[in-house]
Amino acid sequence: MTTGTWWFFGLTVAQLTLAVVLLRTRSRGRPELPPQALALLRGGPRAAVTVALVALHQRGAVAAGRRGTIRANGGAGRTRDPLQLGVHRSLQRALALRVLATRPKARQALDALRAELGGTGLLRPPGRLRAARFLLACVPVTVGVGLLATGITAPALLLGAPPVLASAVLLCVPPTTRAARRLLAGLRERHPLPAQRREVTDGKDVLLYVALYGDPRPGPVPAALLPRRRPAPAAPRPGGRLRDRTRLEPGERPDLHGRRPGLTGPGRSRHPADAFFTPAGPY
């Protein structure tokens, strides 16, 4: 091999080394993170916006619009969360979820949240991640230029293959760090997904489950914003009269209001988990 081949090989090693340095982060403890931050670590910007929409929906600030869109429904309420405020201010008109995550005000709030997580060592800073990926993408180009400039030989190919393979592996490194993945795994272990919605007694717990496990029915609109389907009308009796839906059947127990379970309409008891869990379970 010629001296030029070694020069190109040294350049690829330098590119790989600098990329590894940029990808390395140090975890600085385990801070208490809001649900939006946990969702960003788990599923990215769209997951974080989904949690923000569920929180706004719990206060009646947003609602489902037409044709798979989301619309504002009054003010944002008493919240100081930057992402919730950014999402609500972006809803000057009805938008789909995928479009909402790209609006300037929502994107600014997401960038600020990424910067906070980057400071804690749970998320690789976007600038360093882009720089590292650029260097890794340059490794195959450098090897190819070196082979063309110095001649394609078997020893040169053997020398250039390991850097190319290493760059391909490092390009698959996710934005989240190992500490973030351990944090999410620990939270899922401490907060397993309930089998029934009645096990959830607080709206904050609903946000936590959406952040850790995602939307139970992914679509253009989060499941929490969709109206619940009413039960089918009662079948008429042979005599032509409808079955009394308020009368308890044998073996049924009344709800908190003394009504038949599952009765819709005024007076039905509301539950903070109704927006997220289906009657048979979360999935």
Quote the tokens at residue 169: 């592996």
pLDDT at 52: 92
pLDDT at 282: 42
Quote the tokens at residue 79: 């919240």
Indicate if 41 and 90 belong to the same structural domain. Answer: yes
pLDDT at 184: 92
pLDDT at 252: 58
pLDDT at 170: 92
Indicate if 22 and 134 belong to the same structural domain. Answer: yes
Q: In this structure, how many other beta carbons lie within 10 angstroms of the beta carbon of residue 37? A: 23
In a domain, 109, yes or no: yes
Indicate if 103 and 165 belong to the same structural domain. Answer: no
Strand partners, 242: 236
Which of helix, strand or coil describes residue 127?
Answer: helix
Indicate if 41 and 63 belong to the same structural domain. Answer: yes
Instruction: Write down the H helix ranges in 24-103.
Output: 35-43, 45-58, 82-90, 97-100
By the 8 A CB rule, do 106 and 87 touch? yes
Domain hosting 154: range is: 3-28+124-171
By the 8 A CB rule, do 5 and 180 touch? no
Pseudo-torsion of CA 63, 64, 69, 74, nearest 10°?
Answer: -20
pLDDT at 236: 52
Quote the tokens at residue 12: 């690829």
In a domain, 193, yes or no: no
List of the chain residues with pLDDT < 50: 227, 229-232, 240-245, 263-283
Domains in the chain, number:
2
